[in-house]
Chain A
Amino acid sequence: MVLKSLRDGMRRVNAAPAVLAGVLALTFLLALPLGLVLRGMLRESLGASLAAETAAAGVNSDWWQTFSSEASGVAVTFTPRILGFGAVLSNLGAVLDAQPQALVITGAAAAYLLLWTFLVGGILDRYARNRPTRTAAFFSACGVYFFRFLRLALFAAVGYFILFGALHRWLFDVFYPWATHNWTEERHAFFLRLALYVLFGSAIVAFNLLLDYAKVRAVVEDRRSMIGALLAAFRFIRRHPARTIGLYLADSLVFVGVIALYGVEVASPAPRAGRCGSGSRSARPTCSCGCGRSWCSTRRRFRCSRRCWRTPTTPPPRSPSGRNRRRRKPSTGRRQAECRLRLEARGLRLAARGLSA
């Protein structure tokens, strides 16, 4: 049941490449102004220097250190952490360790989340319909759900503030130092920290799961009350804990798979010492990772929709999206299912490679 739902979610995402492209474009466009600012700084620093030749051909660590020593604003984030798979790992690490970002990056992220809040209604609506919609209809749905999701976002902000501000702080700034204060073996501390990551991650996931189902129910059932959507989501998860969590875990595994694929692609073959590889070579995996992650992100919007609909305890859909949805033909056999699974796996690989294979 979980896999069927997962596959159906994938199918719906794959059937709407424009959404995927839109997410990629949105992310790129938001990063672009900051990128242009940084480019100006880099250009000014490198100028007509021969150091630019080394920097263009590979990594000029010497120049980089000089540049960093005088960096301000967005340039303070231009560190070796951006290199290769380290970028993905450091971003994940920053979330798990609740590391604050530079002010300008925090501002960009806030704007991005606001845009997501606007778009997520349209995206879910598109996936719920499971058929192409016109641009006007897409943005109409965005507008319909924006203020509802904005209210939900306020609730989410409070929840995440508690999770990061209180739970994380207690776990990692109070409990962890207290527990490991006299430990002399690093591995023990590592495993404790790992356990705390799992614990904290579980809390985040649980909250995130609740918010996801609330959004889905808000769209599918055209709910105006976000408290009602949250309560409905909570009831649903409570009735189907194994399936909802299983679906979330399956979705997370896909995410991990995409990240792993990216890691393998970046790590192999090993670059020559002192060289970073050509721009195109390094751009390809980053592009594929971005595409894959967008794919995962957008798919997550709809990962639980089928669970909502197929369960007999769920009330019949009332939203236009629900009424217009097309019934999926039942599976005709195991072989056919396996065939679809293979196709999905292939689709996953394609997505991970930036649909550029």
Chain B
Amino acid sequence: MRRWLQLLIPLLLMIEIGVVTLDGQRARTAPRRGAKTPSAPVTASPAVFPAPGALSPRNANYQVEARLDPDQRTITGREWLTWRNITGVSTSELRYHLYYNAFKNTRSTWLRERASAGRMGRPAGTLAEKDWGWINVTAIRLVGVGGAPPIDLTAQRRFDAPDDGNKDDETVMVVPLPRPVAPGETVNVYLEWTAQVPRTFARTGVIGNTFFLGQWFPKVGVLQEDGWNCHQFHAGTEFFSDYGIYDVKLTVPKGWVVGATGVERESHDNADATTTHRFYQEDVHDFAWTTSPTYIVTQARFEQAGLPSVEMRLLLQREHVGQADRHFDATRAALRYYGQWFGPYPYRQITIVDPAWQSGAGGMEYPTLFTAGTRWIAPSNVADPEGVTVHECGHQFWYAIVGNNEFEDAWLDEGFNTFSTGRTMALAFSPNFSSIRLFGGFVPYVLRDIPISREVDENRLATYRDGAKLDAQATPSWRYWPAAGGALSYSKTALWLHTLERHLGWSTVQRIMSTFFARWKFRHPKPQDFFAVVNEVTGRDMTWFFDQVYRSSNVFDYAVSELSSGPVVASGFFETKGRVEYKAENPTPGQFKTTVVVRRLGEGIFPVDVLVTFRNGEKVRERWDGRDRWKMFTYNRKAAALSAQVDPERVLLLDIDYANNSRTLEPRGDEAATKWTLKWMSWLQDLLLTAAFFV
């Protein structure tokens, strides 16, 4: 009897409220009008469940209507979320990200972390009231199915801070459900909200009349087997969400240009001098948009044999009109090389947004849309905007298509993409040069003596060196030491991927990455999924490598500590012509003894080569497993040694000091030191003469 009751009560409840659909076909129906809940706008009937040929699970589908009031800097919106539980566990709540509340006050976790990292930007006291941002959900209703009335859940909502327990943080909203959603079931939720668009703190906001709106709407978290993965908004990490269909109507002042995720399907003018634009995109996990009356729209097409063509839509600032081709060329390079190496870009269109100056929105990725970033004076031999454009476009592959959790494993997209960007830049935009910016940062000076190298500059070795020991990469990204994100997520990953490329060969690494891409596109991979692919493709157990680069903060540093070479000399008693004589020095003619000592100065272990070059041109290559703290090599040769190198091909790009990897017996250190001292003294004398102006 008790068992019967246990089954009967939920069933009656379900029938009563009509919330949860047990039948997938019924869930496909658009949400119907409830007593006070507007029905979902009539659309092209987006498939809730993966339609045949769907690229992703499509379990988080949004229909959104939003109206921007640029004068008040507010967005008023409503959304219909159709969410399906694709896990094997039930859930009794929904969790939403309310990212804009990170900018609500200085007590939010985001701003606390930002302040502790010393990147507050403008002091909080100098911000005007309208410069802050917030989002207020004014209504939450569970949409009934089959004519059932909606259930108002507004009063039940609460905020949670699962990461740090910060009670002042309102970036995660919990909505308890009347009954659990079982695996495979679908719920339809209607929300209304109002948001104030901040003056950009990071990535999203407004400056002048240019709005860039990312993470702007209530977005449901990701339910996994171990529960909800819905982190608070952290200063050092980005986002994570499920794939679905976005059908979004955006109402902005008439005449304003709109760029957004997806393709614009229609637009119509309204009586109140506004225009509503409708954007639609399937199989994406986020939606961002931008609007401004000043954008200049340019279009081009990406066409490459073997890859699908893509329409490129560029929203350019007026002062950068001359740089349109540079943006397109960089986007083409990314779509081409990433497409050939990993897999084709699957969407029809890509939107490139050239952000307004000091908007703070540059260099950010969203599905089918990204922000680049350039300067008014942008020398052609400095790869800016090319570098940032390739990188952000590359995120379409590593972030948008392979949708890893950026809160926890940011290196999976940022690092993979930094590696891929460096490779693309080396192929498509080389040589380009380093530069410094002077006079308030406006005037570039190109350092034509310093070409950008892939190994060091594109992989950002200097950044890694500075933060190599701050954290192990396996630490969840949102828990990294504030300054460690760049070093560990971007640089370290790029360096160890490039090390793998040199260790295993590009063809192997390309197979690894393309296999990983194919297997995990439109899904949420974890680090071990990548490691498994590496082991599978290489046929080797590479755990020893990932134990070091991923699970520890060990650094690698091999060095040649000693190199000596001279005639072979012995001393003692020697027999000469039948007589035994004592000789303090008994040289062996034509024989030279060479001693090389290589050391492992860091904790990291990696097999390395040792190359000894002799004066007669002879070269001897040794293989050292790199495990011991030191290793000595001795040779008796007909010529003295000239130099010794450990890791001569620089396979181990993670080596934090490559200058100590070699030693020569014809050193030019004095010469080089003198040369660079003279150059530095020229600078110093110029500085002194400049100072003399004041006397």
Residues of A within 8 A of B (CB): 27-28, 30-32, 34-36, 38-40, 42-43, 45-53, 55-56, 58-63, 65-69, 77-78, 80-97, 101, 105, 108-109, 112-113, 116-117, 120, 153, 156, 160, 172, 180, 182-187, 189-190, 193, 197, 208, 270-271, 273-276, 279, 282-283, 286-287, 289-290, 293-294, 297
Contacts and interface: CB of A to CB of B under 8 A. Distances in A.
A51 B659 contact: yes
Interface residues of B, number: 79
B689 interface: yes
Contacts of A46: 659, 667-669, 672-673
Which of B658, B659, B674 has the most chain A CB within a 10 Å cutoff? B659
Nearest to A294: B689
Given A31-B681, A297-B693, A53 B438 contact: no
A62 B656 CA distance: 10
Contacts of B450: 59, 61, 80, 83
9 contacts: A34-B684, A46-B667, A46-B673, A53-B672, A69-B466, A92-B690, A94-B690, A184-B294, A287-B682
Contacts of B665: 48
Contacts of B691: 109, 112-113
B448 interface: yes
Contact of B663 (A49, A60, A120): A49
Contacts of A208: 693-694
A192 to B, nearest CB: 10
Given A31-B684, A113-B692, A50 B357 contact: no
B385 to A, nearest CB: 13
Contacts of B319: 185-187
B210 interface: yes
Contacts of A55: 668, 672, 675-676
Interface stretch (B50-58, B456-464, B497-505): B456-464
A50 B456 contact: no
A73 to B, nearest CB: 13
Given A91-B683, A91-B686, A66 B436 contact: no
Given A35-B677, A184-B317, A273-B451, A87 B669 contact: no
Interface stretch (B91-99, B439-447, B573-581): B439-447
Interface in B639-694: 643, 645, 656-665, 667-694
A42 B672 contact: yes
B119 to A, nearest CB: 17
Contacts of A90: 436, 438, 445, 683
Contacts of B669: 42-43, 46-49, 52
A187 B436 CA distance: 18
Contacts of B358: 180, 183-184, 186, 189
Nearest to B437: A93
Nearest to B430: A273
Contacts of B317: 184-185
Contact of B681 (A28, A60, A88): A28
B318 interface: yes
Which of A47, A69, A184, A189 has the most chain B CB within a 10 Å cutoff? A184
Contact of B436 (A62, A80, A156, A293): A80
A28 B448 CA distance: 27
Nearest to B357: A186
B440 A97 contact: yes
Contact of A113 (B675, B677, B695): B695
Which of A30, A81, A190 has the most chain B CB within a 10 Å cutoff? A190
Nearest to A190: B442
A184 B207 contact: yes
Nearest to A88: B686
B683 A108 contact: no
B677 A86 contact: no
Lowest 4 A-B CB distances belong to which pairs?
Answer: A286-B682, A184-B356, A82-B683, A50-B662
Given A38-B680, A61-B434, A208-B693, 9 more contacts: A30-B688, A35-B681, A48-B563, A50-B645, A93-B439, A112-B691, A185-B317, A185-B356, A297-B689
A176 B233 CA distance: 32
B375 interface: yes
A90 B440 CA distance: 11
A327 B134 CA distance: 79
Given A31-B685, A61-B457, A39 B674 contact: yes
A116 B457 contact: no
A65 B461 contact: yes
B662 A116 contact: no
Contacts of A51: 658-659, 662
B663 A48 contact: yes
Interface string B408-446: 000000000000000000000001011010111011010
A197 B440 CA distance: 10
B672 A56 contact: yes
Contacts of B681: 28, 31-32, 34-35
A80 B450 CA distance: 9
B440 A35 contact: no
Contacts of A105: 684, 687
A101 B176 CA distance: 59
Nearest to B440: A193
A27 B688 contact: yes
Contacts of B661: 49
Interface in B318-342: 318-319
Given A42-B672, A290-B682, A112 B688 contact: yes
A280 to B, nearest CB: 10
B578 to A, nearest CB: 45
A86 B684 contact: no
Contacts of B660: 49
A39 B294 CA distance: 53
Contact of A59 (B294, B356, B449, B671): B449
B677 A81 contact: no
Given A55-B672, A61-B434, A82 B680 contact: yes
Nearest to B457: A61
A181 B457 CA distance: 32
B692 A101 contact: no
A48 B664 contact: yes
B439 A97 contact: yes
B686 A186 contact: no
A274 to B, nearest CB: 5
B465 interface: yes
A45 B688 contact: no
A79 to B, nearest CB: 8
Nearest to A86: B445
A52 B447 CA distance: 20
Contacts of A53: 664, 668, 672
B617 to A, nearest CB: 16
B688 A109 contact: yes
A220 to B, nearest CB: 18
Contact of A52 (B451, B456, B657, B671): B671
A123 B40 CA distance: 87
A260 B434 CA distance: 22
A66 B658 contact: yes
B208 A184 contact: yes
A58 B687 CA distance: 23
Contacts of A189: 357-358, 442
A28 B359 CA distance: 46
B453 interface: yes
Contact of A62 (B439, B456, B664, B671): B456
Contacts of A120: 695
A279 B678 contact: yes
Given A95-B690, A185-B318, A28 B643 contact: no
Contact of A290 (B359, B438, B673, B689): B689
A142 to B, nearest CB: 13
Nearest to B206: A182
Contacts of B582: none
